[in-house]
A and B are shown apart, each in its own frame.
Chain A
């Protein structure tokens, strides 16, 4: 039961999430995104085993962003009609303004929760395999992405080694953050030089094992689509449709 979202076919999940994202963009009332956000939370509570600590960490910047939207729209929003419901330091806040501000910030929450639902329950390797098997993504691209994914830890190591070496030479004593950002350029050049060599070697190694980039016919672990994938997809769509109806009713 709590594995359902993790085991869901990644391509179906991806398509569902994309459709809902596009759909959400058409609702400007504050209730729809808010209800949707909480429904997604409940869905994750019931059908997933995600680490809520990590979820909170990822969510934090979005929450700050959402609050930023709320604040700036209330305070700096262009004058709109409606009744003044609140007055502070000479700012008049109208009900319409508040509705717009809330709608914007709840949308940020709704979009980010949905993205996190996808990101935290999907294994990247399985996602790429599924894209290749269900959505006919070219194996050249798919395995290219996978090789890149394998390189990430190596590149991270190299980044730190180069940084250490540069610090030793007294090249990394910049005081301000913008100087450090510019300094990254120096680290990137040797890394890129190494990455190009590695990429060529990997390509050779893959080709030497018979990889031609043609569509493959046999899969060791076929990523299949089962009835429950459609069911989960339908569940997410139902959540979206019902919250959008409910939201429209509540806001009128």
Chain B
């Protein structure tokens, strides 16, 4: 006999507004969650889905003086009847940024920090730490310094810290958005096991549900104005379909490198690589973490010192993962004009084509992430750097942002610029790339035609990459 379903969270016509905002972030939210459910909360960036999560673990409204209307019941008690910290050992949370969830040096001390918060008797702590590390398969990391771990491992440690509290509910705030798809998929499989072991209720906020396969049972969709548009059984997500792109390669060499290598302090970071790039060509640089992708890019752009038998290229522009690292001035217009390489007319044209005209007087630090990237690209192009290197531009982006990025890159390629993209996202690569440079352990495996790489699952797997779903499906339908 199955046990009676037990409602643990209930929201009744809830709305939420930040004190400084005019319009509510969430409005007329009503739903109930039962014990043991696996629920995904989806929606685009800024739709208030994280806010919804923070109402369930009581981080909000106390931390932002937010104004809540309606009823929130947590474990059949009104939410505001809980003392600070009281709910947090029953409802544990894992956040998205692997780098800012820890306050202690080692894994063991971090777990102990959590147990100390709960006033666990000191005599029980060692055993509980051993137990949770055992179940999560992290025993070998017990005394390891957290800062030395990869992003994927950090997220597992963060999850262990949540589980050591023996929670009833696990809340996940885009836990894999900063991980590469391969690591993300492994994390989901690992989580699947844990959910069964602990019989947890899992509620996750996520905008890239295509990586989660069939993990969830139910999906609540939030619209961009903070309402529930759908609350139904989870259907595996279609992968994001990018428009078809025509090749725009010109018969003009933009960059040619022969025997390019990077040495630093006696270590060879990059073994000699050789390749050419044409104008209008889009090249994706991919490979496992630490394979030398950033080293290659920074060497070509002149940030690192390089050795080369022969190297010739047009000026190269670099757009880091955080584009604001490039910014030097206080308006978008000044940012583009900083290098002083373009005339007024050229700047106007450039801003028009990058849709920066309407924000040209704004501070580049205060615009949206997508706009920041366009400003950074604009600054590079204004300096006549027509070979662009984009470092991880897809990381943490939702579907809408990815489509915009696709169109932006497509339009630059049509203008005859050359674009290099460092990314793990092979769906995105399949949509834009003409060719793929694969790197592993500081060596270049080769520069391949994109279509050739998608036909070779072994080659992809050897570089910790997942085959792009859309392309394989298309290949199957032809067979």
Contacts and interface: CB of A to CB of B under 8 A. Distances in A.
Contact of B100 (A186, A190, A202): A202
A68 interface: no
A218 B116 contact: yes
Given A164-B303, A208-B59, A150 B85 contact: no
Interface in A119-133: 125
A211 B105 contact: no
Interface string A171-210: 1000000000000001001100110001101111111111
A226 interface: no
A214 to B, nearest CB: 8
Contact of B119 (A170, A208, A216): A216
Contacts of A167: 303
A147 interface: yes
Most buried by B among A168, A189, A206: A168
B150 to A, nearest CB: 14
Nearest to B317: A168
Contacts of A170: 339, 383
Given A209-B88, A212-B117, A169 B339 contact: yes
B88, B103, B104, B119 — which one has the most chain A CB atoms within 10 A of its CB? B103
A167 B302 CA distance: 10
B322 interface: yes
16 contacts: A153-B147, A158-B325, A164-B298, A167-B303, A169-B326, A189-B365, A190-B322, A190-B365, A207-B59, A208-B171, A209-B88, A212-B117, A216-B117, A220-B115, A221-B109, A221-B112
Given A161-B325, A216-B116, A220-B116, A206 B85 contact: no
B327 interface: yes
A209 B88 CA distance: 6
B117 A169 contact: no
Nearest to B84: A212
B293 to A, nearest CB: 15
B390 interface: no
Interface of A: 125, 143, 146-147, 150-151, 153-154, 158, 161-162, 164-171, 186, 189-190, 193-194, 198-199, 201-212, 216-222
Given A206-B103, A207-B85, A210-B114, 11 more contacts: A125-B109, A150-B103, A150-B147, A194-B322, A204-B63, A205-B93, A205-B101, A209-B88, A216-B119, A218-B115, A219-B116
A190 B99 contact: no
Given A168-B302, A207-B88, A210-B118, A154 B95 contact: no
B328 interface: yes
A79 B478 CA distance: 100
Given A169-B326, A169-B383, A150 B102 contact: yes
B320 A222 contact: no
B85 A212 contact: yes
Per DSSP, are chain A's interface residues mostly helix, strand or loop, or mixed? Answer: helix
B120 interface: yes
Contacts of A211: 85, 113, 117
Contact of A165 (B84, B118, B326): B326
Nearest to B341: A170
Given A216-B119, A220-B109, A210 B101 contact: no
Contacts of B441: none
Contacts of A198: 97, 99-100
A49 B309 CA distance: 49
A209 B92 contact: yes
B92 to A, nearest CB: 7
Given A150-B103, A186-B328, A210 B318 contact: no
Contacts of A164: 298, 303
B97 A165 contact: no
Nearest to B87: A210
A152 to B, nearest CB: 10
